[in-house]
């Protein structure tokens, strides 16, 4: 049985239609609506509750928390996680399920937009740095809609499930991708972005101040060996921390909050 999770924060839709379409396509499935209490469609979604449909209400709009709790309520052996593309999910999920029939354990959509060699090189370099520092292997696809097969789902539930939905932590599983060039990329929740941007800005200003101060002291011959070494050490540490923050920002921009 496949469990469908819909994280409903601000999105609005005729949810009854979604349920009707899935009922026509599948005989054995489960739907879990993880709904933010302030969503105007809450009452409509509550009316859909049945043996196949669970509705979880949340006072917080923290999507990671909502999905984590919904995963704990899944009765199915596999998972179709829908963060976005709600209006197309009943059609798009069919492609993922078809690929899963051939044995794929993790299936998602991928935007195959053309990019030049320099952009591709930079992306590969960033991914290698992210893996080296955070031990995160980034998915190449869109986390808006993902299918996890029975083995992958059982692995997820034994550890940090929400991280597996955004970062490829699977060992030995080949991730399968279906093409989706017509739709824009899903926009993940990025509550931590402002905080990281602020830290990046502060340490960038500190770096500029350190370089300016050191240059000023050198120009007026007011710096000794020890003070110069101290400035150089602080500048190097600041540069490395800025690189670390820039990688965190790249991760958050791509998949949303994971830290």
Q: Say how far apart CA 162 and CA 151 lie, in whole Å.
A: 16
pLDDT digits (tens, 9 = 90+) for 79-113: 999 998 877 888 888 889 989 888 889 999 988 77
Q: CA 203, 208, 210, 212: dihedral to nearest 10 degrees? A: -170
pLDDT tens per residue, range 131-141: 999 999 999 88
Q: Are 203 and 238 a contacting pair, CB within 8 Å?
A: yes
Asked if 8 and 41 count as a contact pair (C-beta separation under 8 A), the reply is yes
pLDDT at position 26 over 80: yes
Q: Are 85 and 180 in contact (CB under 8 A)?
A: no
The vertex-153 CA angle with 82 and 62, nearest 5°, equals 45
Q: Which two tokens stand for residue 74?
A: 């899944």
Q: What is the pLDDT of residues 140-153, one digit of tens each?
A: 889 999 999 999 99
C-alpha to C-alpha distance for 128 and 126, rounded to whole angstroms: 5
C-alpha distances (whole Å) from 78 to each of 101, 110, 157, 174, 200 are 12, 21, 11, 17, 39
CB 52 within 8 A of CB 178: no
Contact predicate 166/63, CB 8 Å: no
- pLDDT of residue 183 exceeding 90: no
Q: Which residues, in sequence order, are bridge partners of residue 29? A: 2
- pTM, two decimals, is 0.88
Q: Residue 51 class from Cβ within 10 Å (0-12 exposed, 13-18 middle, 19+ buried)?
A: exposed
Distances (CA, A) of 75 to 30, 71, 167, 216: 7, 9, 23, 66
């Amino acid at each position: 049985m496949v469990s469908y999770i819909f994280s409903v924060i601000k999105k609005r839709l005729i949810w009854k239609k979604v349920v009707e379409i899935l009922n026509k396509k599948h005989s054995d499935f489960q739907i879990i609506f993880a709904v933010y209490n302030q969503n105007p469609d809450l009452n409509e979604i509550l009316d859909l509750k049945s043996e196949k449909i669970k509705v979880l209400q949340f006072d917080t709009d923290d999507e990671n928390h909502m999905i984590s709790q919904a995963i704990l309520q899944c009765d199915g052996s596999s998972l179709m996680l829908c963060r976005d593309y709600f209006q197309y999910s009943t059609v798009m999920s069919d492609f993922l399920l078809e690929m899963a029939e051939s044995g794929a354990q993790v299936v998602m959509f991928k935007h195959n937009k053309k990019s030049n060699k320099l952009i591709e090189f930079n992306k590969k370099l960033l991914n290698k740095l992210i893996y080296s520092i955070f031990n995160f292997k980034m998915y190449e696809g869109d986390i808006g809609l993902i299918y996890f097969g029975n083995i992958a789902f059982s692995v997820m539930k034994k550890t940090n499930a929400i991280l597996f939905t955004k970062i490829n932590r699977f060992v030995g599983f080949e991730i399968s991708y279906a093409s989706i060039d017509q739709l824009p990329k899903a926009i993940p929740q990025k509550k931590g972005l402002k905080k990281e941007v602020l830290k990046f800005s502060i340490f960038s200003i500190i770096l500029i101040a350190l370089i300016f101060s050191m240059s000023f002291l050198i120009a007026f011959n007011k710096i000794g060996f020890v003070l110069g070494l101290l400035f150089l050490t602080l500048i190097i540490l600041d540069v490395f921390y800025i690189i670390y923050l820039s990688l965190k920002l790249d991760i958050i921009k791509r998949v949303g909050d994971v830290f």
